[in-house]
Structure 1
Amino acid sequence: MTKDSTTIDVGEPSNVTKSRSHVVVDAKKKKGFVAAAAGGGYKRGLAIFDFLLRLAAIGITIAASSLMFTAEETLPFFTQFLQFQAGYDDDPTFQFFVIATAIVAGYLLLSLPFSIVSIVRPQAVAPRLILLISDTVVVTLNTAAAAAAAAIVYLAHNGNANTNWLPICQQFGDFCQAVSTAVVAASIAVSFFILLIVISAISLKSH
């Protein structure tokens, strides 16, 4: 004679299920917090690099504007009534360069508070987005000034035989050295702006 056995399935107590769910939720929260902290540290490092680049760009643009503004030379072998002189204000392109690079330097100075906010609050989107848009606009002004001045500097060094434009740098060596250095400095500032735009794009990528 076979006896039928009856199996009774006893479920887990509700308090055990709740405790397990709390453990799972806490684990997910902890994982999310660790990921956020890691992302914040990464973005804070980018923000610090951004701030340092802006400081360097301020120095370079001020130097470029100052070099061009003070570029002047007078040939010494003429009388006081007849002298040949070269200065930045003799060419509208060089005047534009001085004004444009000064504006760029002023913008960089005004952008420092936004860069500091990005360091303090690396997850904030608004200041980084403002910097990205503003940098993209200002880099066009910097590029235009550097490119226009570079064209005039090239003519000053090499001239143009087709239009009978003679090179003047053989006579005005110091003047050409100053304006050439200013153009190089402005070109370096353009490369800094490109790095700043890339940094902002990377920082906004995860949002």
Structure 2
Amino acid sequence: RIIGELGGVAAVHEAVREHLDSRPVQQAACAAFRYLGAIRENCRTMLDMDSVWLVQRAMSRHPHDLVLQRLGCSVFQHMKMPRHELCRVEVEGVLEAMRLHADDLELQQRGIATLQRLAVDARQRQSMHEMGGMELLQAAMWQHLEDAEVQRSGLQALHRLAVDEGTCRAINSMFGGSLVHASMTTHRVDAQVQTWGCVVLLLLQRLRGRGSV
């Protein structure tokens, strides 16, 4: 917090803005934003300065830089944003990072956790659906089925997506409960996986019960 009060957020913001083509600067700045943004007062400053947009721009500028993509996702994963501000974050950069780095477990962990955080309203959830977010989420959960962290965050993201009837119907048509069942079977002793798995299955079953599938 003290660093933020001393102008740390502004200094990092300026570094990102002035050195967009420098990967080392962008990596270091995103790492700094990840910790600065985890403090509410600093996060407010970052929002006021539109630093979030700069992070998104850095990610789109260097899509194949795995370290930068991990750090960019981590910024959004940990920022102390109010709900109405989360709705303004564009998900395209996170989805592109997941698409380009499908084999990287850490990137998928951070990307899925970020999607789970950002899926806070119907517009954002619809955007994720239209941009292929559910396909990416499904692919990551299948590819990293043995990783409990991916499964926990993935099931929480599915829960948020399944709240809306349209996206819930899409989940049903893509894989029904098969992915959820596989996750729960693989991680029987993980209470969070079991809890969120049950919640997602409940939402899917309610939709079927209404005859909306």
Higher alpha-carbon Rg: 1
TM-score, normalised on structure 1?
Answer: 0.25
TM-score, normalised on structure 2?
Answer: 0.24
